[in-house]
Structure 1
Amino acid sequence: MALQDTLNLRRLLTPSNLRQLAAPILIIMILSMMVLPLPVFLLDVFFTFNIAISVMVMLVAMYSNRPLDFSVFPTVLLVTTLLRLSLNVASTRIVLLEGHSGPDAAGKVIEAFGNFLVGGNTAVGLVVFVILTLINFVVITKGAGRIAEVSARFTLDAMPGKQMAIDADLNAGLVDESEAKRRRKEIAQEADFYGAMDGASKFVRGDAVAGILILAINVIGGLFVGVMQHDMAVGEAAHTYTLLTIGDGLVAQIPALIISVAAGLVVSRVGDDGDIGGLVIGQLFSNPQVLILTGAIIGILGLIPGMPNLVFLLLAATLGALAWLRRKRMEEETLAARAPAAAAQSAAPPPDAHEASWNDVAQVDVLGLEVGYRLIPMVDKGQDGELLKRIRGLRKKFAQEVGFLSSPVHIRDNLELKPNGYRIALKGVEVGAGEAYPGQLMAINPGRVSGPLPGRETTDPAFGLPAVWIDPGMRENAHALGYTVVDASTVVATHLNHVILNHAAELLGRQETQALLDHVSKDSPKLIEDLVPKTLPIGTLQRVLQNLLEEGVNIRDMRSIIEVLAENAPRTQDAVQLTAKVREALGRAIVQALFPGSAEVQVMALEPALERILLQAMGTGGEGAAIEPGLADTLLRQTAEIAQRQEDIGLPPVLLVPASLRMLLSRFLRRAVPSLKVISNNEVPESRTIRVTAMVGMQQG
């Protein structure tokens, strides 16, 4: 039994369990000090511990790169405040009980603060205590509380905009699902942190008020106890107890002031580029012109008769020396940056004087991105361009969602473009263009913002939404107004992603098709061997896949596609007919992408009379059937109007038609209504319920 108890005790005293028990034990000890008498030595230990923990908290606050790096700070603020109040109660008990015995009655720490710091002068001690309390209560705590309050309000107001920005990055492939979850959690923690700091600042304010009240109570109580109970003279009692009380107040008020400074440092910092010390040194003393002007002004003041000339001139000389050192260092950094470029230029070979050869014939890039000279840092490997990482993420996301690996994006600079301009080219032909401004943010209006923003008005190049280029300092304000805020590299990456998705069929060339077959053959070699090229030419397979991609159908399920083609290829080699068979096999996935879950398939349909006319035209003209011009105009106009109404009520614009009409109407309507999807009756699974919400071809009353 004793052995079992020993084992249980050892399991209880493991490092992880001790760490978990540390906080409850500390709280219990703090609360116990309010009711249990403490020896003088323990009181000295706890006062010293209070000073040490306050210094530690301030240093952690200074070396934290972000406020959330010290997310436990509101709790620490509560615990340290409770510790100071408990020590005040314990020290008050000892001062009133033992104060008549001498200045060291309440311990050496209180005696040191009462004698050494204020020279044993009660009047000076009272003044110093009141000044420290005012600094803490009126200046630091009030300012930190106000910053926390405003930050909490703006953080909560900006949460919807930040969430939309995360969703936009996720949809554009710039981040994965785990990174998006981490960012959402960080946003929620940020709002909770500033809200907690807003409330926790009241602890410090209350502590300052309590310190003043405890000081008055101790002075009055000590005077009463000394005169009435210990027969001390009024002057002697007042001096003794007031000095002890002042020492007690100072030993608690100085750690409180340090904690308040730490709170101010945490909530007042902007940015997360480094610790506060590094930011202050880097931003305050980085400009040599500022140092020179400051030194000159101080030097002129030092030359005025009656001024402390030595101090002013010494400081002016110090500032001048710092300015000289800073300027020299900046020149060295500039020369170091230019050296590689100069070396590369000098090492460049002379122009080739040989005859022209086939090596001089440059192939057209399948997918290219050209940028103006101000956008070069975004795509420069040497400068760790952010856009390069985003493009790699886009290609990976495209391969996962669409089903094949697109050609690499070839990036080059183009001095003929505007400095902030860029151009997206497909096989040498421009398919998209826009402008981006590094160092600024694009605030996109999703249609429900609560106010305008000052800045350079523009249009989102990917989706055509109204937008404004703003300075980074306006990010929080833009989020609060409901804008979706993205940086310049995200603007270009989103536009590029939009172009790639819209031109996926053109990106699937013969080489990509062969690479896709080689990839599938690793798992199903016999299936590929029996189909290509024995039964179906690779060119026909490529055309079938392109037909699917043109209408937004991904080709990830290559196994099903190959099996359908293998079954139907012996009967027909027509790519259109084979595409229809493949679409029927992929019908469940097609409908699922348009109508997620098990909801009703709410579609538009053709009016029966119009459907008969179109079927008759197909019967007489076959694949090359033409629609009478007047009927074609009416069909286009009504389809566009009804599709717009479908989108306005939150439904995808989907037209359900017979299988024989699907390809004809899809090609005919796609140019007028790009967002329209045309599906056939054969593509809808039997398990899904169809509900017709609008009819195309009915007389419009």
Structure 2
Amino acid sequence: MKVFNNTVSAFVVGIIFLLIIPLPTWALDLMFILNLSVSFIILLTTMYIKESLEFSIFPSLLLITTLFRLGLNVSSTRKILTNHGDAGQVIRTFGAFVIQGNVIVGLVIFLIIVLVQFIVITKGSERVAEVSARFTLDAMPGKQMAIDADLSSGLIDEQQARDRRSKIQREADFFGSMDGASKFVKGDAIMSIIVTFINLIGGVIVGFINGDGTFQEIMNIYSTATVGDGLMSQIPALLISVATGMIVTRSASESNLNNDVAKQFLSQPIVLIMASLALASLTLIGFPPVQVLSVSISLFALGVILLRQTKPQLQTEEGLAPTEEITSEASFYKNIDNVYGLLNVEQIEMEFGYSLIPLVDEGSGGSFIDRVVMFRKQFALEMGMVVPSVRLKDSGQLNPNQYAIKFKGEQVAQGDILVDHYLALAPSDLEDTVDGIETVEPAFGIPAKWISEDKKIKAELAGYTLIDPTSVIITHLSEVIKKHAYELLTRQEVNNMLANLKKTNEMIVNDTIPSIVSVGELQKVLCNLLRESIPVRDLETILETLADYGTTVKDSDMLTEYVRQSLKRTISHRFAEAGQLKVISLDANVENTIMASVKKVENGSYLALDPKTIQSIISVTSKEIDKIKDLVQVPIILTSPIVRIYFKKLVDQFYPDTVVLSFNEIDTNIQIQALGSIAIS
């Protein structure tokens, strides 16, 4: 194939020279035959392909063939006008065959062919290409979402996803190119009419000047040459025009056009029989009986033959159409593995209303997927855990501007987005001066407004914080994932983390897992840490601590407390600001009351406080938290190590976002500032 690498380029350059260099008549004959052959090949190719992209070079080929025909027109016109109407045997033979001594008939036939191509085929192909281009572009977001959903669910790999995205982009490019390329055919038809009149009128004038004979002889010579030249350019043009219509109307199929027509057109034998009877009735109004009955009998015979072939199948399926589907489905689910496939749920899933699709579709310029990838990277660096793939899909059950976040098949959050607006957050001391649609920021529940693009500059000058729609969704998703990270840590992910640690410290993994603690027990400890937003990135320290205490302590909650104390530097840096920790302390009497109520059981311990005491502790805690809510974003309560876990479980029922730390979890270089104390009388 390397031999043909430069053939097309050389051919196009040769076409340009056709416009300048005169050709001998034998070469012109060869070029006309070549033009006709290429046109037949292109037409047949469009009939045998299964989908348009199999012939994606067609728009470029359309330009080349159009240029080729114009080059031949120029060369033939030069020959007609300079060689006494002789432009080669092909044109002379074709013209004489069509005209057959009657110039008017030849010109009429030529005009009919040109107008059929120009008004019917080219116009229709142009419109279909235009609509196909628009529909293909409109369908791109949905197709991209489907690819991302299949990729997230594991049905396809990255390479297959790239191939599918490339195919969608190529489809859009192809139909966009066809929309423009169809104009070549239209212009070619117009040019053919102009060239025909030039050849005829110019030829007659040149004939008189050269003295080629009488008026009738001159008309005979130049009309034959004109019609022959016009038809030799328009017949290939007509074939190319039909091919254009074929390729833009060709939908994706499992077979070519011939098989599809045979399968679908002959799929209803009874239709052929009814058509034959209707055709036979036309003899009653004077239609020629021989011709009508010949066609009618042929259709009737074909219909009967096809009906007999399909009759056994119809008898088998008669009255059993629903049962066939059910039986087929039942056969599929006889394989128990297929039933288990129904039980799979996505770890993280996001559904979008159709108005939000452009935000998440890469083909439409959406950056949502890239933002999710960057969040996954940041979360891994910050928390030491890899977030699972987020499956994205559109949903007809949501409002157009809504999105929903699901964990393991159940919705955990949702929000509303206005695509062409910005979410504006006003400073607390700022007077509300910008008009907008009142809303609530979905991640943190802060009052906000949706403002339009034209108010953006005014809002920025007024001190508002503006957030684009994609950032609003990403922020919401990230906060939800942080809050529920412990639900996403599966044993498979724990094994992945251990395998990663083995690359640098295989000994600690082999010594601890599973001889001291099992993977399941390690998972519980890690989930306990993530539940309270403690990073698990330092897995080596976590395993060393479990190796030290795991032989004697079997309670996962108590093991978590020892691990937290080993991670005190991490915890301190996470919650301290500028080396200072602002806290509410827990009174010694409250701690004693809590410890006196702890009940030990075989597998752990629990808190058994009476309701009155619980109410008193929570009431005081609520008051202290309210006092400092303007000073700190997240309230922190400091307790003794032995009480921390029990007080955390108690306060979680009422204030789940409250951080409870023990003295042993605070690094020595952190300055502690007590803002209040929880004490009951």
Structure 1-normalised TM-score?
0.59
Query: C-alpha separation between the residues in 2 aligned to 1:383 and 1:55?
Result: 52
Query: C-alpha separation between the residues in 1 aligned to 2:584 and 2:257?
Result: 73
Q: Is the 8 A contact 2:584 2:636 kept in 1?
A: no
Distance 1:215 1:555, change over 3 A: farther
Distance 1:201 1:580, change over 3 A: farther
Deviation at 1:108, TM superposition (A): 1.7
Match of 2:264 among 258, 283, 299: 283
The residue that corresponds to 2:448 in the other structure is none
Deviations 1:154-212 (A, max 9, x none): 22233233323332333333332222222222222111111111110110000000000
Match of 1:48 among 24, 27, 33: 33
1:490-569 matched pairs, under 5 angstroms? 530-531=511-512, 534-536=515-517, 540-541=521-522, 543-544=524-525, 565-569=546-550
Q: Does 1:20 align with 2:5?
A: yes
Distance 1:317 1:35, change over 3 A: same
The residue that corresponds to 2:253 in the other structure is 272
Query: C-alpha separation between the residues in 2 aligned to 1:83 and 1:129?
Result: 20
Query: C-alpha separation between the residues in 1 aligned to 2:576 and 2:545?
Result: 28
The residue that corresponds to 2:553 in the other structure is 572
Match of 1:124 among 93, 96, 105: 105
Match of 2:281 among 289, 300, 317: 300
Q: Is the 8 A contact 1:656 1:681 kept in 2?
A: no
Match of 1:144 among 125, 138, 142: 125
The residue that corresponds to 1:319 in the other structure is 299
Match of 2:46 among 41, 49, 61: 61
Query: C-alpha separation between the residues in 1 aligned to 2:200 and 2:592?
Result: 105
Deviations 1:526-556 (A, max 9, x none): 6666335543367645654776899999999
The residue that corresponds to 2:240 in the other structure is 259
The residue that corresponds to 2:17 in the other structure is 32
Query: C-alpha separation between the residues in 2 aligned to 1:671 and 1:177?
Result: 45
Query: C-alpha separation between the residues in 2 aligned to 1:383 and 1:252?
Result: 64
Deviation at 1:624, TM superposition (A): 3.7
Match of 1:224 among 192, 205, 212: 205
> How many residue pairs align between the two structures?
514
Q: Is the 8 A contact 1:174 1:394 kept in 2?
A: no
The residue that corresponds to 1:93 in the other structure is 78
Deviations 1:111-146 (A, max 9, x none): 221122343432111111111111110011111111
Deviation at 1:312, TM superposition (A): 2.8
Deviation at 1:250, TM superposition (A): 0.2
Letter in 2 for 1:50: N
Query: C-alpha separation between the residues in 1 aligned to 2:620 and 2:136?
Result: 51
Query: C-alpha separation between the residues in 1 aligned to 2:486 and 2:23?
Result: 77
Query: C-alpha separation between the residues in 1 aligned to 2:208 and 2:620?
Result: 107
The residue that corresponds to 2:159 in the other structure is 178
Query: C-alpha separation between the residues in 2 aligned to 1:533 and 1:543?
Result: 14
Q: Is the 8 A contact 1:548 1:579 kept in 2?
A: yes
Query: C-alpha separation between the residues in 1 aligned to 2:202 and 2:616?
Result: 103
The residue that corresponds to 2:309 in the other structure is 329
Q: Does 1:236 align with 2:217?
A: yes
Identity %, equivalent residues? 34
Deviation at 1:271, TM superposition (A): 3.2
The residue that corresponds to 1:76 in the other structure is 61
Match of 2:138 among 154, 157, 163: 157
Unaligned runs of 5+ in 1: 1-14, 342-371, 399-440, 451-459, 467-500, 591-599, 640-652, 687-701
Distance 1:524 1:139, change over 3 A: same
Deviation at 1:322, TM superposition (A): 2.9
Query: C-alpha separation between the residues in 1 aligned to 2:279 and 2:576?
Result: 78
Deviation at 1:442, TM superposition (A): 8.1
The residue that corresponds to 2:379 in the other structure is none
Match of 1:193 among 169, 174, 177: 174
Q: Provide the alpha-carbon RMSD of the alignment.
A: 5.6
Deviations 1:292-315 (A, max 9, x none): 32233223334x252222333333
1:601-680 matched pairs, under 5 angstroms? 620-621=594-595, 624-625=606-607, 628=614
More displaced 10-residue stretch of structure 1: 42-51 or 622-631: 622-631
Deviation at 1:89, TM superposition (A): 0.3
Letter in 2 for 1:287: Q
Query: C-alpha separation between the residues in 2 aligned to 1:656 and 1:45?
Result: 92
Deviation at 1:601, TM superposition (A): 11
Query: C-alpha separation between the residues in 2 aligned to 1:131 and 1:89?
Result: 22
Deviation at 1:291, TM superposition (A): 2.4
Q: Is the 8 A contact 1:504 1:549 kept in 2?
A: no
Query: C-alpha separation between the residues in 1 aligned to 2:29 and 2:648?
Result: 89
Three-state SS of the structure 1 residue aligned to 2:9 is helix
Three-state SS of the structure 2 residue aligned to 1:35 is coil
Three-state SS of the structure 2 residue aligned to 1:257 is helix
Query: C-alpha separation between the residues in 1 aligned to 2:557 and 2:288?
Result: 95
Distance 1:259 1:530, change over 3 A: same
Query: C-alpha separation between the residues in 1 aligned to 2:325 and 2:113?
Result: 52
Distance 1:132 1:523, change over 3 A: same
Query: C-alpha separation between the residues in 1 aligned to 2:334 and 2:41?
Result: 38
Deviations 1:426-481 (A, max 9, x none): xxxxxxxxxxxxxxx9853665469xxxxxxxxx9765999xxxxxxxxxxxxxxx
Q: Does 1:444 align with 2:396?
A: yes
Letter in 2 for 1:322: L
Distance 1:572 1:56, change over 3 A: same
Three-state SS of the structure 2 residue aligned to 1:232 is coil
Three-state SS of the structure 1 residue aligned to 2:84 is helix
Deviation at 1:236, TM superposition (A): 1.2
Letter in 2 for 1:327: L
Distance 1:192 1:503, change over 3 A: same
Letter in 2 for 1:47: F
Distance 1:333 1:242, change over 3 A: same
Q: Is the 8 A contact 2:130 2:176 kept in 1?
A: yes
Deviations 1:212-264 (A, max 9, x none): 00000111110011011234222211121011010000000011011111111
Q: Is the 8 A contact 1:173 1:394 kept in 2?
A: no
The residue that corresponds to 1:106 in the other structure is 87
Q: Is the 8 A contact 1:92 1:218 kept in 2?
A: yes
Three-state SS of the structure 1 residue aligned to 2:74 is helix
Query: C-alpha separation between the residues in 1 aligned to 2:150 and 2:592?
Result: 45
Match of 1:212 among 193, 207, 216: 193
The residue that corresponds to 1:167 in the other structure is 148
Three-state SS of the structure 2 residue aligned to 1:117 is helix
Letter in 2 for 1:321: A
Query: C-alpha separation between the residues in 1 aligned to 2:606 and 2:218?
Result: 114
Structure 2-normalised TM-score?
0.61
Distance 1:24 1:667, change over 3 A: farther
